[in-house]
Chain A
Amino acid sequence: MRTNDLILKTTTNIIVFIILAFSFKLFLAGHNMPGGGFIGGLMTSGAIILMYLTYGIGPINKVFRVPFTILVAIGLSIAVATGIGSFIFGQPFLSHTDGYFYLPILGKSHLATAVLFDVGVYLTVIGVTMTIILSIAEDR
C-alpha cells in the first residue's frame, strides 16, 4: 500500500531551497565568519538527502546526472588546480592572492582565490557524503 506523503513532499519542496540557500551562504561566509567549504558541503548534501528521503532514489537520480564519485574527483582537481595555479605566476605551491573589484550589482567586493580552493572542498564533501550514504542505501 502506498502512503500518501503529500505533506512531506510539500514541506520538502519549500525547505530544500531554504537549506540550499543557507548552505550557500555558509560557504561564501567562510572567509570572515564561521562557515566554509566543509560545513557548506555537508549542509548541501543534507538538502540532497532530504530530497532522496522524500522522493526515493529513482526520481532524484534523474535530476543529478553526474555520479557523485566523479564529483569527488572534480572537487579534488579544482583544489589541486588552485595549488598548481601559483606555479604559473612564479610563486610557491598553494600561494593565494586576493583583491578588491567593482562588480556590476554587488559593488566593491573582496575576491580571493582561496574561494576556488574552497569550491574544491565543497564539491568533494558533497561527493563523499552522498557516495557513502547512497552506496549504503543501494546495498540490499
Chain B
Amino acid sequence: MAEKTKKEDKPVADKITVGHVHMSGCTGCLVSLADNYGGLLTILDRYADLVYGLTLADVRHIPKMDVALVEGSVCIQDKLAVEEIKQTREKAAVVVAVGGCACYGNITRFGRGGQPNQPQHESYLPIGDLIKVDVYIPGCAPTPQLIRNVCVMAYLLLKGTKEQKDLATAFLTPLMQLADRGTTACGCDLIYDVINQGLCMGCGSCTASCPVRAITMEYGKPNVNREMCIKCGACYAQCPRSFFNVDVVNQYEGIMEAIDGALK
C-alpha cells in the first residue's frame, strides 16, 4: 500500500525576510546568531526567512529584504565591498550593524595596510560612515541573546499588533540612538560620557562586559587599559548610565517572558 504523502506544514504566511551581509568581519557575529541553537531554528520556522547569507545559502547577489544583519567594516580600497554596502542600504528596509566592527570599526580600526597581497587595503570604516544605519548591536562578539531579542522585536515591529509595534519601537529605540550617536567607540567612552559627565556610580557592568579584560574597578571606578582595548563599544553600551530606558527595563519580566514564549 502506498504511504500517504505527508505535506510539510509551513506556517510561513507572514514571515519577514532577513539577510546576513558579510563585510570585513570574522563571521563570529554570524556564529553568535547561530549560537541561539534551537531558538534560531524557531525564528527561521515562524518569523523570518533567511533570503541571503553567503555562509549558509547559495544566493549570490544581495536581494530585497526587510532586515539586513551586516557584520564587519568596509575596506574603502575594495570596490566590491563599497558597492555591496551601498546595495545593502538600497535593498534593505532596516539595516542593523551587528557587532563591534560594523558599528564602530573595532579591531579593523587598527588596519593600516602594508600586508601582502593587497598592501593598499589600508582604510576600514564602520558601515555607518558610508550608509545610514538604523540599529546597532554592539559587542565583540555580540551576544546571541541580544541578536535574538532584536530579531524578535524586528518581527513584532513589522508584523505585530499595534501594541507589539509600540513595544518593539520602545525596545529598539536605544539601539537606534546608539546608531545616531556615532561610529567611534573605545573604553574612553566611559571616561568622556559617563565619569566626566558625573554619571558613573561604580556598578562594574563595564568590567563584566569587556571581552579583553581591559577594564578593572579601582576603588569603585573603572580604570581602562587603553592599550588592551579593541574599541568594540560593549562597555559603553552595557553601562546602565549610557542609556537607561526606564519604560522598557521596568517591564523586564514581561518582556523576557514574551521573548521566551515566542521561541517556545
Query: Does A pair with B?
Result: no
B interface with A by C-beta (< 8 Å): none
